[in-house]
Amino acid sequence: MPRLRPINEWTVSTFDDRPGLYILNDVIENYAQLKWLNRCLLEYPEPPNITNASVEGFYEGENVWRTVGNQKLRWVTLGNHYNWSSKEYEKRPRFSLPTELVEIARIFSKLLGLKEMKSDAAIVNYYPEKATLSPHVDRSERDHSCPLISISFGQSAVYLTGGPSLDDPVEALMLHSGDVLVMDGDQRLVYHAVPKIVKAKQFTEEERELAGVDKSILTYANSNRVNITIRQLEEKKLAEISLESCMCIRTHTYRGSSTKEKYSKRTFLRAWILSPVREHKTGCVLPGARSSSPTDPIRLDPPTHSGDY
């Protein structure tokens, strides 16, 4: 399992006008981000997992990413398959979600003091440089009481978060490689979108060698973005995660500065031009946004996990 940074180095960004929205900042080691990308490109798209290539019928074989190329591989479903036409999940999973995704979602939900997840579905989205994601709400899961956890790798993205209606205010945030976005409570069912990919990360040859991945993975990481969204479809009983001694995660809370406009899906995607983009990671915001300052740290109990995290 790719390695997480030491927990005492973690920070979490929260937003006082969007309770339930969290961003864990750059919590995965740089070389480990390349290991994750290696899985996303060479393991997760392989049969029997379902990709846009297999659904659209232009490729159903093995070695998917190397065969179809960066521009044509757009998504993979893992665990319980999501039908993009009916907007529904299958009643029964075809097979189990990869263990590393189940465990990492449990860790993140536990650390934030949220309902622990026992995930059974994930969608991997692939973003070439000019790709976008249309405004939508993730409402197909049968149980919305668990958070939705989204992990970013590769290049950065402008991320738009709105409300339950397209008429609600829209906020523009930056998501970087190694960031983990968590949507819970009222934020679980809001419109969100990605209008732009931003080149902001340059992985090194030294990191590639440490990760033990092919040079093609490094080339991909330095030009493209990958996002894994982990979900729990319905209520399940959970075993307890054992805990270590209490540790501290620094928290930055930001004041509201959403643009007060009404949006269709088209104008929703353009909202980042009107709304100041928050650079949450460094405790500051980009020009035009209101200033902010860190709150007192919150104390969380970290779970015990293997040395591979």
Phi/psi of residue 29, nearest 5 degrees: -55, 145
Whether 138 has a binding-site annotation, put simply, is: yes
Coil, helix or strand at residue 47: coil
Alpha carbons 48 and 166: distance in angstroms, whole number: 36
136 is in an annotated binding site: yes
Rounded CA gap, 285 and 274, in Å?
15
Q: How many residues make up the chain in this entry?
A: 309
141 Cβ neighbours under 8 A, 6+ residues apart: 89, 121, 148, 231, 232, 233, 234
Distance, C-alpha 23 to centroid of its chain? 9
**Cα distance between residue 197 and residue 130, in whole Å:** 7
Handedness of CA 205, 207, 211, 217 (dihedral sign): negative
Is 252 annotated among the ligand-binding residues?
Answer: no
Binding residues, by number, are 136, 138, 192
Binding residues for Fe cation, by number, are 136, 138, 192
